[in-house]
């Protein structure tokens, strides 16, 4: 009887825990054809650096933009783009690329220093950019932490519930303690499952970007005739609703870092490729 119970629990564990987990793996894209070879990209980067050293920043940015458009990215590329935009007195774009570069460890210190310098320039010109604490926490959970740690904790709690329930068959003396353990794990499982589901849906729906142009209005609805809610300055960060934005080409549905929501022209902003 003992062996039959053990076999039954093992089969049940496989079907309930392991098999569903195996089916949730992420598919990885196959190798895709790129428009430019690595040699072409390096040649463009060298040309851009040459024009940068010659103080011809527009020509340098033309090469750097071609590299970015081809799907290649690196810390030195984004750092050079930030420096070029800064020399051209385009602080919004400079700050955007400094922030992009800060996600690469090999140029992080220079990028953070550049971000602080540009942020100070923008502060002197436009004033302080508000940052709501709740917005900051949501941004961290969605774009920094992600679903992985919460999913792992959820699976661990689920396993504790299953194993605690099963152990009562084999250790009846510990039945009371095991039931308390199962109850505690179940109560903890509920909020972690809810947060994991929320993060999963948010990752599919939301993007992260920044305003890069001046004289931009946050409007109540898409279109120039809509009521203006706020005049937005370069450097403002936002979370973009990808699904709603697709319904109105040329505009983005955003929630700014100060908590206000509305619509902005798509050409006034850039979306971060790395979080």
**pLDDT band for position 170 (cuts 50, 70, 90):** confident
Residues 179 and 214 in one domain: no
**What pLDDT, on the 0 to 100 scale, is given for residue 141?**
93
The 10s digit of each residue's pLDDT in 146-164 is: 899 999 999 999 988 988 8
Which tokens hold the place of 217?
Answer: 């209005």
Residues 167 and 111 in one domain: no
User: Is the Cβ–Cβ distance between 21 and 36 less than 8 Å?
Assistant: no
The CATH number of whichever domain residue 120 belongs to comes to 1.25.40.10
Of the given ranges (110-124, 126-140, 197-211, 259-273), which has the lowest mean pLDDT?
126-140
The 10s digit of each residue's pLDDT in 122-141 is: 998 888 888 899 999 999 99
Residues 90 and 140 in one domain: no
**What pLDDT, on the 0 to 100 scale, is given for residue 238?**
96
- Res. 185: pLDDT tops 60: yes
**What pLDDT, on the 0 to 100 scale, is given for residue 36?**
57
Average pLDDT in the 203-231 region? 93
Q: Examine residue 166 and state whether it is found in any structural domain, yes or no.
A: yes
Closest CA to 123 of 89, 91, 98: 91
Q: Examine residue 183 and state whether it is found in any structural domain, yes or no.
A: yes
Range(s) of the domain holding residue 199:
134-205
Q: Examine residue 30 and state whether it is found in any structural domain, yes or no.
A: no
Residues 115 and 72 in one domain: yes
**What pLDDT, on the 0 to 100 scale, is given for residue 271?**
94
Average pLDDT in the 204-216 region? 93
- Res. 171: pLDDT tops 60: yes
Beta strands in the chain (DSSP E): 206-211, 216-219, 228-232, 237-241, 251-256, 261-265, 269-271
Residues 52 and 80 in one domain: yes
Q: Examine residue 89 and state whether it is found in any structural domain, yes or no.
A: yes
**pLDDT band for position 178 (cuts 50, 70, 90):** confident
Average pLDDT in the 229-253 region? 94
Task: Please say which residue of 73, 105, 126 terminates a domain.
Answer: 126
The CATH number of whichever domain residue 262 belongs to comes to 2.30.30.40
Q: Examine residue 2 and state whether it is found in any structural domain, yes or no.
A: no
Number of domains the chain is built from: 3
**What pLDDT, on the 0 to 100 scale, is given for residue 20?**
41
Residues 197 and 216 in one domain: no
Task: Please say which residue of 92, 109, 126 terminates a domain.
Answer: 126
Q: Quote the mean pLDDT of the chain.
A: 85
Residues 49 and 71 in one domain: yes
Beta bridge partners of 211: 269
Q: Examine residue 19 and state whether it is found in any structural domain, yes or no.
A: no
**What pLDDT, on the 0 to 100 scale, is given for residue 131?**
86
**What pLDDT, on the 0 to 100 scale, is given for residue 167?**
85
Q: Examine residue 247 and state whether it is found in any structural domain, yes or no.
A: yes
The 10s digit of each residue's pLDDT in 72-100 is: 999 999 999 999 999 999 999 999 999 99
Residues 201 and 220 in one domain: no
Sheet holding 228-232, edge to edge: 228-232, 216-219, 261-265, 251-256, 237-241, 206-211, 269-271
274 DSSP 8-state letter: -
Q: Examine residue 21 and state whether it is found in any structural domain, yes or no.
A: no
Residues 246 and 187 in one domain: no
Residues 115 and 143 in one domain: no
- Residue written as token pair 């800060």: 102
Angle at which helices 75-87 and 108-126 cross, to 10°: 30
Beta strands in 112-202 (DSSP E): none
Task: Please say which residue of 98, 126, 154 terminates a domain.
Answer: 126
pLDDT > 90 fraction of the chain, expressed in percent and rounded: 66
Closest CA to 93 of 127, 58, 67: 58
Does 182 or 36 have the greater pLDDT score? 182
Residues 171 and 215 in one domain: no
* Burial of residue 28 (number of CB atoms within 10 Å: 0-12, 13-18, 19+): exposed
**What pLDDT, on the 0 to 100 scale, is given for residue 15?**
40
Report DSSP letters for 16-61, one per residue: IIIHHHHTTPPPPPPP---SS-HHHHHHHHHHHHHHHHTT-HHHHH
- Res. 22: pLDDT tops 50: no
C-alpha–C-alpha distance, residues 196 and 190, integer Å: 10
Which tokens hold the place of 215?
Answer: 């004289």
- Res. 33: pLDDT tops 60: no
The 10s digit of each residue's pLDDT in 3-21 is: 444 434 444 443 444 434 3
């Amino acid at each position: 009887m003992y062996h039959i119970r053990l076999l039954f629990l093992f089969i049940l564990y496989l079907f309930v825990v392991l098999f569903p987990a195996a089916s949730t793996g992420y598919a990885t894209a196959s190798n895709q054809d790129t428009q430019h070879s690595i040699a072409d990209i390096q040649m463009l980067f060298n040309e851009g650096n040459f024009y940068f050293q010659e103080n011809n920043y527009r020509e340098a940015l033309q090469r750097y933009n071609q590299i970015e458009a081809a799907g290649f990215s690196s810390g030195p590329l984004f750092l050079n783009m930030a420096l070029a935009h800064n020399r051209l007195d385009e602080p919004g774009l400079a700050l955007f690329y400094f922030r992009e570069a800060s996600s690469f460890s090999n140029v992080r210190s220079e990028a953070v220093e550049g971000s602080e310098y540009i942020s100070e320039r923008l502060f002197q010109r436009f004033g302080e950019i508000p940052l709501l604490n709740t917005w900051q926490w949501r941004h961290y959970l969605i774009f920094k932490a992600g679903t992985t740690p919460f999913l792992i904790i959820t699976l661990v709690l689920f396993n504790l519930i299953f194993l605690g329930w099963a152990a009562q068959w084999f250790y009846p003396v510990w039945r009371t303690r095991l039931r308390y353990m199962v109850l505690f794990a179940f109560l903890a499982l509920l909020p972690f499952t809810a947060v994991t589901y929320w993060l999963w849906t948010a990752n599919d729906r939301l993007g992260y970007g920044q305003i890069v142009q001046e004289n931009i209005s946050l409007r109540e609805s898409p279109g120039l005739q809509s009521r203006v809610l706020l005049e937005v300055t370069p450097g403002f960060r936002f979370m973009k609703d990808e699904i709603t934005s697709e319904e109105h080409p040329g505009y983005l549905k955003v929630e700014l870092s100060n908590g206000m929501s509305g619509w902005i022209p798509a050409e006034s902003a850039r979306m971060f490729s790395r979080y």
